[in-house]
Structure 1
Amino acid sequence: MTDSSTQGIKTVLHPVSDLDAAKAVYTALLGAEPTADSPYYVGFDAAGQHIGLVPGGGAEGATSPVTYWHVPDIEAKLSEVTAAGGKVKEPAHDVGGGRLVATFTDPDGNVLGLLQDS
């Protein structure tokens, strides 16, 4: 049997309209410089969480923050949440380095993310 329990919310991605302005605010809030800084993504590691800034909401066009639950088996967890009534928004896909992400909606349309590190 596959372990499909969660490891908690460890990643939150925020869509931003002005990456440089948002980077300044989050740097002040978190008291740390970004650990990833590019024109398409800025990320911070703070207190065991990863906070990401995505201009324009990224490929999925997010309009509000998306929390990513870390799981050991993303496909198993997607199966569980869809069997329970969730709907896949963005299927699991590799975003680099073997990291898989997916998003789904709950019955009220809230977008939730799953993340599996290799």
Structure 2
Amino acid sequence: MPEPTSSTPHKLFDSFLEAEKALPLGKPQKLWVAGRADAICLVRNRAGIFAVSDVCPHLGESLSKGTTNYLNEVVCPWHSYRFSLENGQECNNRTNRLKTYKIEVQPDGVYLQL
């Protein structure tokens, strides 16, 4: 099977129900995708499933070690920088945006667009 390319969706789960079971509500999870050197931070919250770069652009800590909040943000565990899960913007514009990835829920599964 060929490796996913930048235009290929990567199937994460066979159904949304499977994603709900695997992703605790509000708890960031680290995802490694075959063929990629960088990790992705997955978050399921009441607004949906989101994927962002796992590396905080401030000082490089893993965001999957952090928390989320009611503002739909992931919070870095080192210095509490908060990033929008929708667009990657840091709430006070103190550092670069996170790279965001599109998640698509289809009848046959949940996909990450790389």
TM norm structure 2: 0.28
The structure with more helix, counted as a fraction of residues:
1
Higher Cα Rg: structure 1 or 2?
1
The structure with more strand, counted as a fraction of residues:
1
TM norm structure 1: 0.28
